[in-house]
Amino acid sequence: MITLCCSSPMVPGVTLTEKAELLRNWGYEAIAVFQPLQAWNAEVHTELLSLESQTGIRPVEFVLTDDIYGHAMSDDLELRRRCRDMYREAAAVCAELGAVTEIEYEYGPQNPLPLFDAFQQPDESQKTEFMDFYRELLAVVEDTDGRILLEPLNRYESRYLNRVVDNLEIIDAVAHPNGGLLPDTFHMSLEETDLAESLRLAAERVVHVHLGDSNRLLPGSGHLDWAAIFGALSDIGYDGWVNLECSTEGDPAQTLPATAAFLRRLIAA
């Protein structure tokens, strides 16, 4: 059955435990932890590993965040090394937790904006190098329940691999049991002709889902067809987590419980 998750930056509280307890009270079963690298230490690591037993809320996604994020393919070799080291550490944590983390070819505002040159494709050398790095991270979680997923980003935040189909090509070529796709409905709203059909195309390769409406606010705040999206997830037999990764727009003590109720109606339908 599809179950509900929310990203840690959207939830008030100083500690992960405080955030998890609020989510439990607001109707969620899991948390996606987006942990600032500068605040990552042994104490937080221990808290994370005991979070489910202490609160009942399962950490199902783990990402280390920093300005170096999104530069795994950078031409700046030192920046690339630091970014990849951070990704490796996140992958190791996911191996411990049985959680997912995601990577992209690159992440960050594009300059100049690609207004007239959408859907650029990496050349064969770039594609091979990216797949080699993907395989390297997958080796970290091999023989565990951890997963390393590809997330398609919109053209304004990445030059390459913007569409579901572009990422499926990489996933299928690598063909690793710990790989898979992480579709994000906000990014998809900018790049996919039909979100529901793109999800059906991805089928069993969908492992985790990020939710955000067309305006990157909570589901129901924009113009996405949420009944069609959840219908497609049902059609492909998806029974994983759907994680809010967007803005709460208002008091989360009001908006997050209301969104949980809205999502449960969609799941039930």
Q: Which one of the listed residues 61, 151, 191, 192 is annotated catalytic?
A: 151
The number of residues making up the chain comes to 269
Nearest CA among 160, 169, 163 for reference residue 105? 160
Strands of the sheet with 30-36, listed across from one edge:
147-150, 100-103, 58-65, 30-36, 3-7, 241-244, 209-211
Parallel/antiparallel/unpaired status of strands 241-244 and 3-7: parallel
Contact 231, 199 (CB under 8 A): no
DSSP class of residue 143 equals: T
191 among known catalytic residues? no
Q: Name the strand (E) or helix (H) holding 31.
A: strand 30-36
Tokens of 219: 């589901």
151 among known catalytic residues? yes
Rounded to whole angstroms, how far apart are CA atoms 19 and 9? 9
Q: Which one of the listed residues 61, 102, 104, 245 is annotated catalytic?
A: 245
Q: Within 10 A of 180 (CB to CB), how many other CB atoms are there? A: 21
Which residues are catalytically annotated? 151, 245
